[in-house]
Structure 1
Amino acid sequence: MITLTKINNDQITVNAIYIERIESFPDTTITLVNQKKLFVKESENEVKEMMIDFYKMIGLYQLQKEVGEQKNES
């Protein structure tokens, strides 16, 4: 889970696994897999770093790298 700051300064905790897309319009817009959109104060790069840290914490980041390596070997 990652904690973000909505535009109105409210904090929201999001399961990073459900993030489909991050865009910077000027506000950072996060689209979840259910197509719900969140507008947050953190930059696109800050959100990406939080996601990577979360993936590492739950062991998903290394798994993703290993699967990618196996695809390249085929």
Structure 2
Amino acid sequence: MSNLEKQIEQAREEAHKICDTEGATSGQCAAAWDALEELQAEAAHQRAEQQDHKTSFQQYCDDNPDAAECRIYDD
């Protein structure tokens, strides 16, 4: 589990705890859920960035799938 995933889990537990003690309609409860949402958005952003990192060759093959050097042959 990554550090960010641990932070998300801790923020989720904290949000539940705060909402149980302060009430579901309290400002503290809303702020706790907002903090959790921001962590989750950051995690999604990092996952998207990792998927966008392609080599030049991978990008070339995506753009030119019929190129000889991009063909994949079954054994």
Q: Normalised by the size of structure 1, how large is the TM-score?
A: 0.30
Higher normalized strand content (fraction of residues): 1
Higher normalized helix content (fraction of residues): 2
Structure with larger Rg = 2
Q: Normalised by the size of structure 2, how large is the TM-score?
A: 0.30
